[in-house]
Amino acid sequence: GPRLLLVPLGCLALLLPPPGAAEFSPSLDSDFTFTLPAGRKECFYQPMRKEASLELEYQVLDGAGLDVDFHLLSPKGETLVFDERKSDGVHTVETEDGDYMFCFDNTFSTISEKVIFFELILDNMGEDGQDEEDWKKYVTGTDLLDMKLEDILESINSVKARLSKSVQIQTLLRAFEARDRNIQESNFDRVNFWSMVNLGVMVVVSAVQVYMLKSLFEDKRKSRT
Protein backbone atom coordinates (compact mmCIF):
# COMPACT_ATOMS: atom_id res chain seq x y z
CA GLY A 1 0.00 0.00 0.00
CA PRO A 2 1.05 3.64 -0.25
CA ARG A 3 3.51 4.90 2.35
CA LEU A 4 4.42 8.38 3.47
CA LEU A 5 7.93 8.88 4.82
CA LEU A 6 8.98 11.92 6.87
CA VAL A 7 12.66 12.80 6.63
CA PRO A 8 14.49 16.02 7.58
CA LEU A 9 16.37 17.06 4.45
CA GLY A 10 19.53 18.36 6.19
CA CYS A 11 22.47 17.72 3.90
CA LEU A 12 21.04 14.58 2.25
CA ALA A 13 20.97 14.38 -1.54
CA LEU A 14 17.61 14.11 -3.28
CA LEU A 15 15.97 10.68 -3.32
CA LEU A 16 18.55 9.02 -1.05
CA PRO A 17 16.98 6.34 1.18
CA PRO A 18 15.85 8.15 4.33
CA PRO A 19 17.52 6.53 7.36
CA GLY A 20 15.30 6.05 10.40
CA ALA A 21 12.32 7.61 8.68
CA ALA A 22 8.87 7.38 10.24
CA GLU A 23 6.15 5.60 8.26
CA PHE A 24 2.42 6.23 7.98
CA SER A 25 -0.04 3.38 7.86
CA PRO A 26 -1.34 2.65 4.35
CA SER A 27 -4.11 5.07 3.46
CA LEU A 28 -5.55 6.85 0.43
CA ASP A 29 -6.22 9.96 2.50
CA SER A 30 -3.63 11.13 5.04
CA ASP A 31 -3.20 14.40 6.91
CA PHE A 32 -0.42 15.56 9.17
CA THR A 33 0.41 18.62 11.30
CA PHE A 34 3.98 19.39 12.36
CA THR A 35 6.17 22.22 13.64
CA LEU A 36 8.88 23.48 11.29
CA PRO A 37 11.65 25.25 13.28
CA ALA A 38 13.21 28.49 12.10
CA GLY A 39 15.97 28.00 9.54
CA ARG A 40 14.94 24.40 8.82
CA LYS A 41 13.65 22.42 5.84
CA GLU A 42 11.56 19.25 6.12
CA CYS A 43 10.91 16.79 3.27
CA PHE A 44 8.42 13.94 2.82
CA TYR A 45 8.45 11.00 0.40
CA GLN A 46 5.32 9.45 -1.12
CA PRO A 47 5.61 6.30 -3.32
CA MET A 48 3.15 6.47 -6.25
CA ARG A 49 1.99 4.22 -9.07
CA LYS A 50 1.78 4.94 -12.77
CA GLU A 51 -1.37 6.75 -13.97
CA ALA A 52 -2.42 7.52 -10.40
CA SER A 53 -3.21 10.97 -8.99
CA LEU A 54 -1.56 12.81 -6.12
CA GLU A 55 -3.43 15.76 -4.60
CA LEU A 56 -1.69 17.76 -1.88
CA GLU A 57 -3.07 20.68 0.11
CA TYR A 58 -1.10 22.57 2.77
CA GLN A 59 -1.70 25.49 5.14
CA VAL A 60 0.53 27.43 7.51
CA LEU A 61 -1.46 27.49 10.75
CA ASP A 62 0.84 29.56 12.95
CA GLY A 63 4.07 31.56 12.84
CA ALA A 64 5.15 35.06 11.87
CA GLY A 65 4.01 35.92 8.36
CA LEU A 66 2.10 32.62 7.96
CA ASP A 67 4.33 31.77 4.98
CA VAL A 68 6.61 28.96 3.83
CA ASP A 69 8.39 27.82 0.66
CA PHE A 70 7.01 24.62 -0.91
CA HIS A 71 8.65 22.27 -3.43
CA LEU A 72 7.25 19.18 -5.16
CA LEU A 73 9.70 16.98 -7.09
CA SER A 74 9.12 14.00 -9.40
CA PRO A 75 10.94 10.65 -8.99
CA LYS A 76 13.44 11.94 -11.60
CA GLY A 77 14.25 14.96 -9.45
CA GLU A 78 12.36 17.42 -11.67
CA THR A 79 10.64 20.35 -9.93
CA LEU A 80 6.90 20.06 -10.55
CA VAL A 81 5.71 22.78 -8.17
CA PHE A 82 7.47 25.66 -6.44
CA ASP A 83 5.58 28.04 -4.13
CA GLU A 84 7.56 30.90 -2.63
CA ARG A 85 6.46 32.44 0.68
CA LYS A 86 2.88 31.15 0.46
CA SER A 87 0.44 30.60 3.34
CA ASP A 88 -1.49 27.78 1.60
CA GLY A 89 -1.72 25.88 -1.65
CA VAL A 90 -3.48 23.04 -3.47
CA HIS A 91 -1.71 20.97 -6.14
CA THR A 92 -2.71 17.89 -8.15
CA VAL A 93 -0.36 15.89 -10.38
CA GLU A 94 -0.72 12.77 -12.50
CA THR A 95 1.98 10.38 -11.33
CA GLU A 96 4.34 7.72 -12.58
CA ASP A 97 6.05 4.88 -10.70
CA GLY A 98 8.46 6.14 -8.08
CA ASP A 99 8.91 8.25 -4.96
CA TYR A 100 7.61 11.82 -5.08
CA MET A 101 9.25 14.26 -2.69
CA PHE A 102 7.69 17.43 -1.30
CA CYS A 103 9.46 19.86 1.01
CA PHE A 104 8.51 22.72 3.30
CA ASP A 105 11.31 25.30 3.57
CA ASN A 106 11.57 27.78 6.45
CA THR A 107 15.25 28.63 6.00
CA PHE A 108 14.40 32.24 5.14
CA SER A 109 13.15 32.77 8.72
CA THR A 110 15.81 33.07 11.43
CA ILE A 111 13.47 33.50 14.40
CA SER A 112 9.92 32.28 13.82
CA GLU A 113 8.93 28.60 13.67
CA LYS A 114 5.88 27.56 11.62
CA VAL A 115 3.06 25.13 12.33
CA ILE A 116 2.11 23.45 9.04
CA PHE A 117 -0.85 21.23 8.16
CA PHE A 118 -0.97 19.18 4.96
CA GLU A 119 -3.28 16.55 3.50
CA LEU A 120 -2.60 13.93 0.82
CA ILE A 121 -5.31 12.38 -1.34
CA LEU A 122 -4.24 9.46 -3.54
CA ASP A 123 -6.49 8.32 -6.39
CA ASN A 124 -6.32 5.32 -8.75
CA MET A 125 -3.89 3.44 -6.54
CA GLY A 126 -5.49 0.10 -7.51
CA GLU A 127 -7.05 -0.88 -4.18
CA ASP A 128 -10.66 0.04 -4.99
CA GLY A 129 -10.60 -1.92 -8.23
CA GLN A 130 -9.27 -4.99 -6.44
CA ASP A 131 -12.04 -4.76 -3.84
CA GLU A 132 -14.65 -4.58 -6.57
CA GLU A 133 -13.22 -7.63 -8.34
CA ASP A 134 -13.23 -9.60 -5.06
CA TRP A 135 -16.88 -8.73 -4.52
CA LYS A 136 -17.83 -9.83 -8.03
CA LYS A 137 -16.00 -13.13 -7.51
CA TYR A 138 -18.19 -14.01 -4.53
CA VAL A 139 -21.52 -13.06 -6.06
CA THR A 140 -21.05 -14.37 -9.59
CA GLY A 141 -23.44 -17.20 -10.31
CA THR A 142 -25.85 -16.38 -7.49
CA ASP A 143 -29.29 -14.86 -7.40
CA LEU A 144 -27.81 -11.47 -6.46
CA LEU A 145 -27.09 -10.89 -10.14
CA ASP A 146 -30.81 -10.20 -10.53
CA MET A 147 -30.41 -7.17 -8.27
CA LYS A 148 -28.27 -5.33 -10.79
CA LEU A 149 -24.90 -5.71 -9.20
CA GLU A 150 -23.39 -2.90 -11.23
CA ASP A 151 -25.98 -0.42 -9.95
CA ILE A 152 -25.32 -1.49 -6.37
CA LEU A 153 -21.57 -1.08 -6.81
CA GLU A 154 -22.03 2.33 -8.39
CA SER A 155 -24.26 3.51 -5.54
CA ILE A 156 -21.88 2.27 -2.88
CA ASN A 157 -18.89 3.87 -4.59
CA SER A 158 -20.81 7.15 -4.86
CA VAL A 159 -21.65 7.10 -1.15
CA LYS A 160 -18.04 6.23 -0.31
CA ALA A 161 -16.73 9.11 -2.43
CA ARG A 162 -19.13 11.59 -0.83
CA LEU A 163 -18.22 10.42 2.67
CA SER A 164 -14.52 10.76 1.86
CA LYS A 165 -15.13 14.26 0.52
CA SER A 166 -17.07 15.18 3.67
CA VAL A 167 -14.20 13.99 5.87
CA GLN A 168 -11.75 15.98 3.74
CA ILE A 169 -13.82 19.17 4.02
CA GLN A 170 -14.19 18.76 7.79
CA THR A 171 -10.42 18.30 8.13
CA LEU A 172 -9.77 21.45 6.10
CA LEU A 173 -12.32 23.40 8.14
CA ARG A 174 -10.55 22.35 11.34
CA ALA A 175 -7.27 23.56 9.86
CA PHE A 176 -8.83 26.91 8.88
CA GLU A 177 -10.31 27.24 12.38
CA ALA A 178 -6.93 26.56 13.98
CA ARG A 179 -5.21 29.15 11.79
CA ASP A 180 -7.89 31.79 12.45
CA ARG A 181 -7.71 31.12 16.21
CA ASN A 182 -3.94 31.56 16.16
CA ILE A 183 -4.31 34.85 14.26
CA GLN A 184 -6.91 36.13 16.72
CA GLU A 185 -4.78 35.18 19.72
CA SER A 186 -1.79 36.93 18.15
CA ASN A 187 -3.87 40.07 17.52
CA PHE A 188 -5.17 39.94 21.10
CA ASP A 189 -1.63 39.84 22.47
CA ARG A 190 -0.61 42.76 20.25
CA VAL A 191 -3.60 44.86 21.32
CA ASN A 192 -2.82 44.21 24.99
CA PHE A 193 0.86 45.07 24.50
CA TRP A 194 0.23 48.39 22.73
CA SER A 195 -2.54 49.26 25.18
CA MET A 196 -0.05 48.90 28.03
CA VAL A 197 2.49 50.98 26.10
CA ASN A 198 -0.09 53.75 25.53
CA LEU A 199 -1.09 53.64 29.19
CA GLY A 200 2.55 53.95 30.25
CA VAL A 201 3.09 56.91 27.89
CA MET A 202 -0.03 58.63 29.24
CA VAL A 203 1.15 58.18 32.85
CA VAL A 204 4.61 59.58 32.02
CA VAL A 205 3.14 62.55 30.12
CA SER A 206 0.74 63.30 32.99
CA ALA A 207 3.60 63.20 35.52
CA VAL A 208 5.72 65.54 33.37
CA GLN A 209 2.83 67.99 32.99
CA VAL A 210 2.20 68.06 36.74
CA TYR A 211 5.89 68.61 37.38
CA MET A 212 6.09 71.44 34.83
CA LEU A 213 3.03 73.20 36.23
CA LYS A 214 4.36 72.85 39.76
CA SER A 215 7.70 74.28 38.65
CA LEU A 216 6.03 77.30 37.05
CA PHE A 217 4.14 78.18 40.23
CA GLU A 218 7.25 77.76 42.35
CA ASP A 219 9.19 80.15 40.06
CA LYS A 220 6.48 82.81 40.38
CA ARG A 221 6.55 82.66 44.17
CA LYS A 222 10.32 83.05 44.23
CA SER A 223 10.28 86.09 41.88
CA ARG A 224 7.70 87.97 44.09
CA THR A 225 9.78 87.57 47.24
- 30/105 same-domain check: yes
| pLDDT-derived band at 104, boundaries 50, 70, 90 | very high
CB neighbours (10 Å) of residue 9?
Answer: 19
- Residue pair 2/126 in contact (Cβ under 8 Å)? The answer is no
* Percent of the chain scoring above 90 in pLDDT: 31
Structural domain includes residue 136: no
**Is it the case that residue 11 has pLDDT exceeding 50?**
no
Mean pLDDT of 82-94: 91
Q: What is the pTM of this model?
A: 0.55
In a domain, 142, yes or no: no
* Together in a domain, 107 and 177: no
In a domain, 222, yes or no: no
Tell me if 116 is assigned to some domain.
yes
What is the predicted pLDDT for the residue at 127? 54
* CA–CA dist 117, 115 (Å, integer): 7
Helices (H), the chain: 127-139, 149-224
Tell me whether residue 19 is in a domain.
Answer: no
Q: Confidence class of residue 211 from pLDDT cuts 50, 70 and 90?
A: confident
37 and 111: one domain?
yes
Contacts with 205 (C-beta within 8 Å, 6 or more apart), sequence order: none
pLDDT at position 193, please? 87
pLDDT at 183: 78
Same domain for 30 and 98: yes
Residues 6+ apart with CB under 8 A from 161: none
**Measured at the alpha carbon of residue 38, what is the angle toward residues 40 and 101, in degrees to the nearest 5?**
30
Q: How far is residue 211's CA from residue 208's CA, in Å, rounded to a whole number?
A: 5
Q: How many domains does one find in the chain?
A: 2
Q: Please check whether residues 94 and 178 belong to one and the same domain.
A: no
- Does residue 210 have a pLDDT over 80? yes
Report whether pLDDT(42) > 90: yes
State how far the alpha carbon of 26 is from the alpha carbons of 57, 85, 116, in Å: 19, 31, 22
Q: What is the CATH classification number for the domain harbouring 66? A: 2.60.120.680
pLDDT reported for residue 174: 76
36, 88: one domain: yes
- Which SS3 state, helix, strand or coil, does residue 141 take? coil
Taking the mean position of all CA atoms in its chain, how far away is CA 66? 11
Q: Which amino acid is at 81?
A: V
Interval 129-153 mean pLDDT: 57
Higher pLDDT, 190 or 141: 190
At 16, the pLDDT band (50, 70, 90 cuts) reads very low
Integer Rg of the chain from CA: 29
> Three-class SS string for 58-75?
EEEEECHHHCEEEEEECC
**Domain of 175, in residue numbers:** 152-216
- Check pLDDT > 80 for residue 88: yes
Is 192 a domain residue?
Answer: yes
Read off the pLDDT band of 3 (50, 70, 90): very low
Q: Does the residue 80 lie in any domain?
A: yes
How high is the pLDDT of residue 43? Answer: 94
Residues 31, 80 share a domain: yes
Does residue 205 form part of some domain? yes
The pLDDT value recorded for residue 105 is 95
